[in-house]
Every structure is written in structure tokens, then in C-alpha cells.
Amino acid sequence: MPLPQIVIDALINIVGDQWVKISKAERETYSSDGLPTLRSLPAAVVLPASREEVIRVVRVLAHHDVPFVGRGAGTGLSGGGLAGPDAIIISLTRLNCIIRVDPVNQIAVVEPGVVNVRLTEAVQDLDLFYAPDPSSQTACTLGGNIAENAGGPHCMKYGVTSNHVVSLEVVLPDGKVTRLGSDSGQPWGLDLVSAFVGSEGMFGLALEITLRLLPAPKFVITMLADFVSMRDAGEVVTEIVRSPAVPAALEMIDQNCVKAVEESIYSAGFPTDAAAVLLVEVDGHSEDTVDQEAELVTMILTEGRARSVKVAQDSASRERLWHGRKKAFGALGRISPDLVVQDAVVPRTSLPDVLEEIAAIATRHDVKISNVFHAGDGNLHPNINFDGQNPAEVKRVTIAASEIIATCLRVGGTLTGEHGIGIDKKRFMTDLFDKDSLSAMMAVRRAFDTKGIANPGKVLPTHSCSEWKPHSTVATHR
Amino acid sequence: MTLHPTSPDELALILRDAVREDKKVSVAGTGNWSPTEGDLAISTDRMASITELADRDLTMSVEAGATMDTLHRRLAAVGLWLPCDSPGGDRSVGSIIATGTSGPLADSFGPIRDQLLGLTFVTGNGRVITAGGKVMKNVAGFDMTRLVCGSFGTLGIITDAHFRLRPKPQADCTLTARPHHDTAWDIWRTVTQSRTSSACLLNPGSGKDKAQVTVRFTGSVNAVQSRRVELEEANNLDWREEESGGYWGDHSRAVLANPISLTTGSSVSTANAVTTAIDDLLPRGSAWVQRNLVRWAGAASVKELQIFRRTMSESGTPVTVERAPWGILKEVGVFGHLSPETRAVTERLHDSFDPNKILTAGGVFVTD
């Protein structure tokens, strides 16, 4: 259904002609996100410049019942930032101000379009940092991080996005503006901040985000351990986490991924003959304590049959290791036309078995799978390289991805740890949740979005939900 | 009449019957942590098992009727730890989650909601809902776990909880000092901002009383020792070492010895003003200052509580009356004033999860 001209005119009136994109070529830019297998051309794209403009845009769309999709940098990996042909994308990248930094209370107030890494850069002179650090942190926005409840390697020690959001000012899909939570981080009534974080843009748009900052650790030691057996690497993860050491990060990279990194401009010195490498970081405020933690971790790695354990000797070496880790997706992306990045979480002790099963799935379906992931949290990222122009290969990739998910669920895992459900995994939600639980999620969604116009069609397989009408008569069964 | 279901499905049947028969339901507990008026009371005492302790995965699943003390004892036996020191260790897990009660360890480990991986609960319309899971990270669907935590039973009755655990710290050291009021505040600010302690609690005292500041360090023997030395060298005070278990148990009992307890949001820069307002408006009690909240316990009239909440509201600070005799709670409400938009969202949630309003006979969303 074409967008009514009256809506386009109203949007142009708010943001100006150049910030409403209606030509096909301009809309193409927004037709996909970080997930290459899905494309959808939005009806239009609007780029407001301020909080006030966002509110006015949402009010116009709500008035005309036009669905909309909030979007940050478009780095999402589950198709959550795609809009259907009847929906408008509201790009929030122009709202990129760090409004206020409060070093006394260790909080920052930001607009949703601020790029993740810019916040830590802005506060590092105050010896503070913002902990959640997704691999896309040089591009992804904090508003997008809120929508997806983003994680990252250092979330193992410091927690995911929802552990760092103090309060939010949001515009609800009906255009009403409200503040959720309080400046102290204490809920004001029900904990609506926690509900909003990770709602994948289906509860409204964050206008102002108050985030917790942490004192930057004074001492950091990063270690690289390599293993000739993937199973050994998987098993040692549990030993480290079960020990008194509290690593800031514990990442695993398998041989396929190591090779891709080492053959790219992101080469980090990972040994290409290893079955897997572990990147372990300990940090803290006392040099002695950090040294002792590193010694303990080294001992566990060695006892766990690590072939070697190398310690980054300076910040440049450390940065090189992390660059290799965080750009691994980029390195994988260059070896085939398309790459699908999977995301699932399993109990840590299942890692060795699940990794072997993933390897078997790769062989069975003749697909190339590389693993680079947050081992300390049991958060897997199996990446599948393929050629999207080859229908037979696409079919094999789709089947392999489904089998990986089924394997993870079978051991008590979940569908996604940090990338979200979006469109990509919606079909699997019924494997994890029963009808009543999905209906409850639908009810939460409707409490925030009475019209169902914010990012419709994501997360919930609506055919599996029964809508809970207020004051409905409940059937009784005896 | 008190009913004692043994499973979520049994509880769901009871709640569906209650809807049909238009009966109000309360959760039977101890100590005024939830509204007590109702035609039926539900006790979770027959759902009190630890259903799974995955000691190598550092997770635990428990039924909601188990007490927090039971959990702590079981975990200590296998060298594990749940950093949750909510007042009332003899309370059920369900009660602590439903009221979102956090203790001083929330300073560094986060509130109880941060220890939760998932929940099962039964809504007021008798549906058994699974939220979250048992793994460390989980963004599959909306976060109903954290939404239900601290909802004071308005969305449903919790039957099962899944927690993340940590290895039991090698060392656990609690130090107290009773310096001059201003010094105590300085120490509290410095320690709180440095994030080097697991908990830092300030009791500012009143009148001629000296303030008391208590710092708890947990971790490896060496880490705790180095932080302790750092604290003692930075402050030329007579620090006294307490036995951690005993000290924090006494603190919890001191809170619960009073008929009312409430929390207000606060921060490093506002905590002093909050305690001043407490001194002025709630004189019959004691306050304890944590990183992000001030907990007050004492005695007060409905009028005093309403005035205090209104004063705090005006400065953008929420006041949660977490525990009070029913006669007081039903007048002041747990949460008090909400903005119209937040209230509308909250009411829609409440309408969906408990459409016939059987779960609470008021007392949560009352506003003054």
C-alpha cells in the first residue's frame, strides 16, 4: 500500500525535504541490515535531527496508523531493522550527542544515535568506561544496543546492556513521551526500563538514554592460549569460570576463523595450526591481584592442555589481539559473497559436545562453519560462509542453521544471547516458548504499543499467540 | 483458607477457579511483604525444592517456596555463592523476587534481578508462563523475568526461579568504623565511587550518635587483603573487623525489627539530601545508605509516609514502601505516584496479566 501523500508532506514539514528518502535508490540503502539473507524495501526513510523531531514524526505516524521501524547503524544481525513495504524507517543516527557526563555519579546521558565506542572515548580522560562492547562497537549505536540488549566480550564480567541502563526517556508508539525508571536506577513502579531494553524496537523509541559508567581498570593482562583439540579448549572454559579468577573476557576462536583472520588485514598473530585459541583477559585496580589472577588462569590453561600461553606484553599487543577478535566477522566476510552470523547460548559445560555437533552438521551439509564466540558465557557464534546466488547452497545453509539451533535448544540453551530474534529466528520461538508464554509477551508488547505499529512482525510468531484482552472471561477447566 | 499447591499447574487451576468464583487471592507469607487481604491465601510451602544445582555451569533452579537461607546453606556446602543479602533470609525466594528486595551486596553484584536467569509464574488469569531460561545470556523474546521481579505480585505468582551463581569467595571481610559524621560520608563516597568493595553501607546516625560506615570486601585472599590495607591506610580510623555472616545477619534483623521499611532511589550526590529529608520527615527509624538507594526502617503514620513520598517525588526520586502493616500499606501503596504515561502502561500490563484483579486487593498502586 503506497504511503499517503499527506504523511510524506507532514514528515517533510517536520524534518525538511532532504531528510525524507522516498526514491528507490535511497531506500535500497535501508533494505537490509547485518543479516544478508533478508531484504525488504521500506516505504520511506525519515531522518529526524532532534528529540522534538522524533516525537513529532512518531505522532504523525501514529495519527495515520503508519507502522515504523526505529533504526540505528543497521548492524543488527537478525533482520530486526528491516521495514515492510508499508512501513517507514525512522533513522536515529542524527541524534548523536552525548548530552551530559556526570563523573561524580558515574553516569552519562546520551542520544540514541551515539556510536557505542564514542562514549568510552568521551569519558576515558575521567578514567571511566562504558562496559558493553559488541564487536560492531565502532559502528553500532547505543539506541540499537538498547533495542537488542547488546552484549560483547567484556559482558562476561561486567554484564550486558540491561545491567548498565539507569533510566530512559522514550516516545511510545502512540506519540506520548515518558521517563522510565529514575536517575538512581531504582525502578519507579514496575521495572519498565528492564522491559524496554531488548524489546527490539517494538515498545517505542528511546530518546534519551542514561547509562552507567564504570571506573576503568588500572591493570589489564590479556593472554592467548592455543589448543590442538577443540574439546580441550571447550573444557578448560568451565575450569576457568569455576575458579576464583573472574576473567573480564573469555573468547574462543576456532581454526577456520583463525585462518580467516590471519589471511586478512586484521592478522593478530593467532597460530593457524591450532584447533582453537582462547583469548582471556583479567583486569582490576590492583597490580598484584591482576598478576595473581593471570597466574591462576595460566595454570588452569596449562593443566587443561594448552599448547602455549602467551601474554600480551604491552597495550599495542593487546589491542592487536582484540582487533583480530573483534574484526573476525569482517575477516570471515571477505572469503565468500555472503556470511550468516548465528547466535545461540548453551550451558558452558555443553560447549565441547555442541562444538563437535556443529562440526558434524557442517560436514553433513557441506557448509563451511567458523566459530568465534563468547565462550565464558556459553554464547556461540557459528558463522556460515556461502554464496547467496547459489540456491542449493542457500538451502543447505538454512538447514544447517536450523540444526545448530535445534542442537543448542536440546542441551537447554536459548535462541539468541545478544543478536535478538528479529525476523530471522521468529519461526523458532515456538520451540522455546509455549503458547501462553508467547501470548504473555504479546500482552507486554500491547501494553507499550496499543496500536501494534512499532516494528511490527518481529520477534513474536503472531499465529502462535492468543491475544489477551483486558477483562476477558477466562475459560475454566476442571 | 490457605491452599498449598504443589505445582504451577495446580496453582493455575486454583487461580482459574478463583476468577470463576470472583475470589480475591493473596500469597501467604511472613512479615507484611505482600498484601494480606483476600478470600483465599496461597502458600508456596509445598513448592520448596532445589530442583537443579548445576555446580559446574554455575546455575541453580529452585521452587519459589524455598527460603533464601536454604539456598545459601546448600550452595555453601558445594563452594558456591549467590550474592544476595536481601533482608529476611527466612523469606521465600518467591517473596524476595516478587518484592525485588536487594541488600547491600547489590552495590557491586547488582540487585536480585541481575542474579536471575529465568522464572516460571502463574498469571491472575491462570496461565503458566515461562520467562527467560537457564543460560548466562538470553535475549529470546521480551524480558518478562526482570519485569515480574519487583512487581509485588501484581502480574502473577512466582513458582520457579533460575539463578546464576558464583564461586564462593575465598575471603570475606567486613570492617566497621564509627567516625565523625562528615568523615563517614567522605569514606562512603570514596569507597562507593572506587567500586573496590562488594558493599559499602553508611548509617548516618542522628543527633549525637556517631555515624557508622561498614565496608565488605570479597574475593581472593590477596585481593581482599590489598583492599583492606588500602582502606586502612587511607583512613586513620579504628576499623573493627566483624564476622561477615553474623554482622550482615544482624543488619538484616535490625531492618526487620521495625514495622515498616522503604527504599528511596539515591546517588552519590543526592544520598546526603535524602537522609536529611528522612531525619526531618521520618524521625522514628534508621536509614542505611547504599550506592543507589537509601533503605529506611522504622515506624511512621500514613500521613508521614505520604508527605515523605511527595517530597521525594518532587525531586524525581521514587519511594517504594516494601513492607508495612496492611492498614498502612493499603493507604500509601507500594509504589505511589506514577506519571500518567507510565501509569497507563502499568495499568495495561496489570489488566492483561490479572484481568479480573484477583491477585491484589489493592495496596500496590495506591497513590496519595
Residue A187 and residue B174: Cα distance in Å, rounded?
Answer: 29
Answer whether B113 touches A (CB < 8 Å). Answer: yes
Q: Is B56 a member of any domain?
A: yes
Residue A96 has pLDDT above 60, yes or no: yes
- Say which residue the cell 538514554 belongs to: A209
What's the CATH code of the domain at B131?
3.30.465.10
Q: Is residue B49 part of a domain?
A: yes
Comparing CB atoms, the residue among B141, B155, B267 nearest residue A433 is B141
Partner-chain contact A412 B135, CB within 8 Å: yes
In a domain, B332, yes or no: no
Q: Say whether A223 sits in a helix, a strand or coil.
A: strand
- B131 interfaces chain A, CB cutoff of 8 Å: yes
Q: Which residue has the cell 591481584?
A: A289
* B136/A345 touch (CB, cutoff 8 Å), yes or no: yes
B176 and chain A: CB distance < 8 Å anywhere?
no
Would the pLDDT of B368 be above 80?
Answer: no
Q: Is the CB of B51 inside 8 Å of chain A's CB atoms?
A: no
Domain assignment of residue B343, yes or no: no
Among A188, A193, A351, A477, the strongest candidate for a mutation testing the B interface, having the largest count of B CBs within 10 A, is A188
- Condensed to tens digits (0 to 9), the pLDDT of residues A10-39 reads 999 999 999 999 999 999 999 999 988 889
Q: Looking at CA atoms only, how far is residue A248 from chain B in angstroms?
A: 14
Q: Is residue B337 part of a domain?
A: no
Q: Are residues B162 and B192 in the same domain?
A: no
Asked if the Cβ–Cβ distance from B342 to A346 is below 8 Å, we say no
| Burial class (CB within 10 angstroms; exposed 0-12, middle 13-18, buried 19+) of B312 | buried
Of the partner residues A187, A242, A437, the one whose CB lies closest to the CB of residue B167 = A242
Whole-number pLDDT of residue A37: 83
Confidence of residue B211 (pLDDT cuts 50, 70, 90): very high
Beta strands in chain B (DSSP E): 2-3, 25-27, 40-42, 50-54, 59-63, 80-81, 116-122, 128-132, 157-164, 166-167, 171-177, 199-203, 212-219, 240-242, 260-265, 285-289, 293-298, 319-323
Instruction: Find the residue in A nearest to B266 (Cα).
Output: A184
Class for the domain spanning A336-422:
alpha beta
What would the mean pLDDT of B242-258 be, rounded to a whole number? Answer: 95
- Model confidence pLDDT, tens digit, residues A432-461: 999 999 999 999 999 999 999 999 999 999
- What is the C-alpha separation between A312 and A317, in angstroms, rounded? 5
Convert the pLDDT of each residue in A125-162 to its tens digit.
999 999 999 999 999 999 999 999 999 999 999 999 99
Flag whether residue B228 sits within 8 Å of chain A, measured between CB atoms. Answer: no
Residue B276, CA distances (Å) to A281, B270, B272, B306 in order: 43, 10, 6, 17
How much is the pLDDT for A474? 35
CB interface of A with B, residues 263-302, below 8 Å: 284-286, 288-289, 292-293
* Chain A stretch 391-450, residues whose beta carbon is closer than 8 A to a beta carbon of chain B: 412-421, 425, 429, 432-434, 436-441, 443-448, 450
Q: pLDDT tens digits, residue range A360-371?
A: 999 999 999 999
Residue B45 maps to a domain: yes
From chain B, the residues in CB contact with A446 under 8 A are 348, 352
Same-domain status, B309 and B210: no
- Phi and psi at A236, nearest 5°, equal -70, -25
Domain ranges of chain A: 5-91, 98-215, 219-330, 336-422, 427-464
pLDDT (mean) for B10-23 = 97
Look up cell 547467496; give the residue. Answer: A388
Same domain as B187, residue B129: no
C-beta atoms of B349 and A438 within 8 A: no
Question: Which residue of A474, A477, A478 to mutate against B (max B Cβ within 10 Å)?
Answer: A474
Count the domains in chain B. 3
Q: Please tell me if the domain spanning A5-91 has the same topology as the one spanning A98-215.
A: no
Instruction: Clarify whether residues B28 and B128 are in a common domain.
Output: yes
Report DSSP letters for B256-314, one per residue. Answer: HTSSEEEEEE--TTTHHHHHHHHHHH--SEEEEE-SSEEEEEE---HHHHHHHHHHHHH
Does CATH number 1.10.357.10 belong to domain A98-215? no
Residues 6+ apart with CB under 8 A from A236: A225, A227, A278, A300, A301, A304, A305, A306
Cβ–Cβ of B352/A447 closer than 8 Å?
yes
Half-sphere exposure of A443 (CA within 13 A, CB side): 30
**Does residue A472 register a pLDDT over 50?**
no
Average pLDDT over every residue of A214-235: 97
* CATH architecture of the domain covering A5-91: 2-Layer Sandwich (3.30)
In a domain, residue B367? The reply is no
Q: By the CB < 8 Å criterion, does B54 face chain A?
A: yes
CB atoms within 10 A of CB B327: 8
- pLDDT bucket at B268, cuts 50 / 70 / 90: very high
Q: Which long-range contacts (CB under 8 A, 24 or more apart) does B1-7 make?
A: B1/B39, B1/B40, B1/B41, B2/B28, B2/B40, B2/B41, B2/B42, B2/B43, B3/B40, B3/B41, B3/B42, B3/B43, B4/B42, B4/B43, B4/B45, B4/B46, B5/B42, B5/B44, B5/B46, B5/B47, B6/B46, B6/B47, B7/B47, B7/B159
Q: CA of A327, closest CA in chain B: separation in Å?
A: 22
Candidates B291, B88, B100; CA nearest to A105 is B291
Same domain as B160, residue B290: no
| Sequence-separated (6 or more) residues with CB below 8 Å from residue A193 | A165, A166, A167, A168, A180, A181, A187
What is the torsion angle, in degrees rounded to the nearest 10, for the CA atoms of residue A260, residue A261, residue A267 and residue A269? Answer: -100
Do B147 and A194 lie within an 8 Å CB cutoff?
A: yes
Nearest CA distance, A151 vs chain B (angstrom): 8
Q: Are both B112 and B214 inside the same structural domain?
A: no
Instruction: Find residues 370-389 of chain A whose CB sits inside 8 Å of chain B.
Output: 374, 377-379
**pLDDT tens, A287-305?**
999 999 999 999 999 999 9
Q: Residue B139 is nearest to which of A377, A418, A470, comparing CB atoms?
A: A418
Domain co-membership, B23 together with B108: yes
Span A334-357, pLDDT tens digits: 999 999 999 999 999 999 999 999
- B152, B167, B182 — which closes off a domain? B167
Question: Among residues B304, B321, B338, which one ends one of the domains?
Answer: B321
**B chain contacts of residue A242, beta-carbon cutoff 8 Å:** 56, 58, 167
Alpha helices by DSSP H, A248-286: 255-262
Q: What is the DSSP string of B163-209?
A: EE-EEPPSEEEEEEE---HHHHHHHHHHHHHHT-SSEEEEE---TTP
Within an 8 Å CB–CB cutoff, is residue A208 touching chain B? no
Contact assignment for A183 to B59 by CB distance below 8 Å: no
CATH number for position B279:
3.30.70.2030
Using 50, 70 and 90 to split pLDDT, how confident is the model at A53?
very high
pLDDT 10s digits, B128-177? 999 999 999 999 999 999 999 999 999 999 999 999 999 999 999 999 99
**B348: which chain A residues are within 8 Å (Cβ-Cβ)?**
446-447, 450, 470
Residues B97 and B243 in one domain: no
CA-based nearest distance A22→chain B, Å: 32
Report how far residue A228's alpha carbon sits from residue A323's, in angstroms, rounded to the nearest whole number.
23
Other C-beta atoms closer than 10 Å to the C-beta of B280 total 11
B361 belongs to a structural domain: no
> Cβ separation of A187 and B150 shorter than 8 Å?
yes
For residue A242, the SS3 value is helix
Q: Which residues of A touch B60 (CB under 8 A)?
A: none
Residues A211-234 have a mean pLDDT of: 97
Among chain B residues, CA nearest to A437: B129
Residues 6+ apart with CB under 8 A from B1: B39, B40, B41
- Check if B216 contacts A (Cβ < 8 Å): no
CB contact under 8 A, B110 and A163: yes
> Which residue among A289, A417, A434 places its CB closest to the CB of B130?
A434
Instruction: Please give the pLDDT value at position B210.
Output: 82
User: What pLDDT shows up at residue B367?
Assistant: 60
| pLDDT of A477 strictly over 50 | no
A255-284 average pLDDT score? 96
Contact A94, A76 (CB under 8 A): no
State chain A's mean pLDDT as an integer: 94
Domain check: are B107 and B31 in the same one? Answer: yes
Q: Are residues B56 and B153 in the same domain?
A: yes
Closest by alpha carbon to A135, among A280, A249, A274, A258?
A249
Counting one residue from chain A and one from chain B, the pairs whose CB atoms sit within 8 A come to 278
Residue B22 has pLDDT above 50, yes or no: yes
Q: Say if the Cβ atoms of A474 and B19 lie within 8 Å.
A: yes
- Of the CA atoms within 13 Å of residue A381, those in its CB half-sphere come to 32
Surface of B (60-99) touching A: CB under 8 A:
none
Candidates A343, A341, A394; CA nearest to A365 is: A394
Q: Quick check: A308 contacting B, CB < 8 Å?
A: no
Q: Give the three cell numbers for residue B3.
A: 491452599
Separation in Å, CA of B93 to nearest CA in chain A: 19
Whether the pLDDT of residue B300 is over 70: the answer is: yes
Question: Closest Cα of chain A to B237: distance in Å?
Answer: 22
In the predicted model, what is the mean pLDDT of chain B?
Answer: 94
Query: Which of chain A's residues have a Cβ under 8 Å away from the Cβ of B149?
Result: 191, 194
Last residue of a domain, which of B139, B167, B195?
A: B167
CA distances from A378 to A228, A249, A476 (A): 20, 12, 41
**pLDDT bucket at B208, cuts 50 / 70 / 90:** low
Which residue from B150, B267, B343 is facing A105, i.e. has the nearest CB?
B267
What pLDDT, on a 0 to 100 scale, did the predictor assign at position A473?
35
| Full 3-state SS string of A362-421 | HHHHCCEEEEEEEHHHCEECEEEEECCCCHHHHHHHHHHHHHHHHHHHHCCCECCCCCCC
Which one of B23, B114, B137 makes the best mutation probe of the A interface by having the most chain A beta carbons within 10 Å? Answer: B137
Same domain, B136 and B156: yes
CATH architecture of A219-330: 2-Layer Sandwich (3.30)
Cβ of B319 under 8 Å from any chain A Cβ?
no
Measuring CA to CA, which residue among A350, A466, A360, A323 is closest to residue A414? A350
Asked if A103 and A117 count as a contact pair (C-beta separation under 8 A), the reply is no
Whole domain around residue B119: which residue ranges?
2-167
- The nearest alpha carbon in chain A to B343 belongs to A189
Residues B24 and B156 in one domain: yes
Return all residues near A201 (Cβ < 8 A) that are at least 6 apart: A69, A70, A71, A80, A81, A147, A454, A455, A458
Sheet arrangement for strand B319-323: B240-242, B171-177, B212-219, B199-203, B285-289, B293-298, B260-265, B319-323
Q: Do A476 and B17 touch (CB under 8 A)?
A: yes
**Could you tell me which chain A residue has the CA closest to the CA of B108?**
A158
The 10s digit of each residue's pLDDT in B23-76 is: 999 998 766 677 667 889 999 999 999 999 999 999 999 999 999 999 999 999
The pLDDT value given to residue B366:
73
Decide if B118 contacts B162 (C-beta within 8 A).
yes
pLDDT at residue number A475:
35
